[in-house]
Structure 1
Amino acid sequence: MLEYDFEQSLGFWTALTSHAYRRALDAELNRQNITIRQWEVLALLSLNGEQTQVQLAEQLGIEPPTLAGVIKRMERDGWLERTCCPEDRRKNNIRPTPKAEALWQQMVDCCRKIRAQATAGMTESEIDQYINLCQRVIKNMNFNIGFSFLNGSATASVEKEPNLQELES
């Protein structure tokens, strides 16, 4: 019999939490006709600015050809545009269009809704503690997550998401 104490496994609980959060966000985004992969691409562009397809794929943990179809559809739908990289003409820089920026707020609203669901019953202090612990684990694992931290929070063009108590008031 294969034995392991999953009750005390950080990896198990982290993976399970990530899976539950991702499934809920995917379902919410799908109601807006947005895929989670499209959201991930725009989120990385929001965090890091214009990037190449290779950079985006690396941060998503997928191969560039896998990402190519997503980018092609997003470009076709007017969400992304490619421009030739001035430093290396073999590469294309990818950036969101004004159309994507208009859709971004819908995506942020989906994220806020799922965050409120996930943190129901938690205090702001508990949420901050959870985020800090996750950041420490990432740092301990020497994992480059692809975006910078300022004062303990990821920099992006989105303000802090409200918790459930803030939404109810």
Structure 2
Amino acid sequence: MPVNAPVTAAEQASEERLDILSERPGFLIRRLHQIHVALFHDECEAFGLTPVQFSVITALEDEELDQKQLGQKVGIDRASTTDVLRRLEKAGLIERRKCPEDGRRQLVRLTPEGESLLTKVAGSALRAHKRTLQPLTKAERERFIRYMRKIVSANNEHGRASLKLS
């Protein structure tokens, strides 16, 4: 909604609730993210991966991408992509090479060690995701995911990096 757009009665009623933290979408989204990161850490600590690193190696499963494509697939900006890849490369989980057709592009793929780690961590990461959504019924989980995808898709251009939802 544009900044100067008129506020409807329903929006006014909703805005009046913003004085209560537990009614603020941004507050709840941030808190849910904190909780999920903690659950991911509980389940995946032994593997030494962050949720973003797990997303990156998952995005590279069975395919080689250039750094720009990878950033768009995971929804992280150029600087963050470079930083995450540097750490993953140092750990021996990915390898980068210049694109033969365009030397300005860096191609990224999993190493055999990265593929092996992805296989090992998958079950633990799945448990973290299930624990995050555990309070919801199956129907509520499906609806919640659908609503999150809708919100992300509708507001994608406001993020620091574009995301290509599949």
Deviations 1:30-83 (A, max 9, x none): 222334343132133249x4223344456453443x544542342243311112
Alignment of 1:96 with 2:114, yes or no, is no
Which residue does the alignment assign to 2:15? none
**d(CA) in 1 for partners of 2:50, 2:104:** 28
Aligned residues: 144
Deviations 1:122-154 (A, max 9, x none): 221111011111111112224442331xxxxxx
Report the CA distance between 1:16 and its aligned residue: 1.2
**d(CA) in 2 for partners of 1:56, 1:5:** 38
Is residue 53–residue 84 contact of structure 2 (8 Å, CA) maintained in 1?
A: yes
Gaps of 5+ in 2: 1-17
**d(CA) in 1 for partners of 2:45, 2:89:** 19
1:6-155 residue pairs with structure 2 within 5 A? Answer: 6-46=21-61, 49-57=63-71, 59-64=74-79, 66-143=80-157, 144-148=162-166
Is residue 94–residue 111 contact of structure 2 (8 Å, CA) maintained in 1?
A: yes
TM-score, normalised to structure 1, is: 0.69
Report the CA distance between 1:5 and its aligned residue: 3.1
Give the structure with the higher percent helix: 2
Task: Work out the percentage of aligned pairs sharing the same amino acid.
Answer: 22
Give runs of ≥4 in structure 1 deviating > 6 Å: none
Is residue 29–residue 36 contact of structure 1 (8 Å, CA) maintained in 2?
A: no
Q: Which amino acid aligns with 2:29?
A: T
Q: Which amino acid aligns with 1:12?
A: F
Pick aligned residue for 1:4 from 13, 19, 35 = 19
**d(CA) in 2 for partners of 1:27, 1:139:** 29
SS of 1:104 mapped into structure 2: helix
SS of 1:74 mapped into structure 2: helix
Change (3 A) 1:57 1:139: closer
Is residue 67–residue 81 contact of structure 2 (8 Å, CA) maintained in 1?
A: yes
Larger Rg: 2
Is residue 156–residue 163 contact of structure 2 (8 Å, CA) maintained in 1?
A: no
Change (3 A) 1:146 1:23: farther
Change (3 A) 1:36 1:90: same
Deviations 1:78-134 (A, max 9, x none): 311112213320221011122211111222112211122222242211110111111
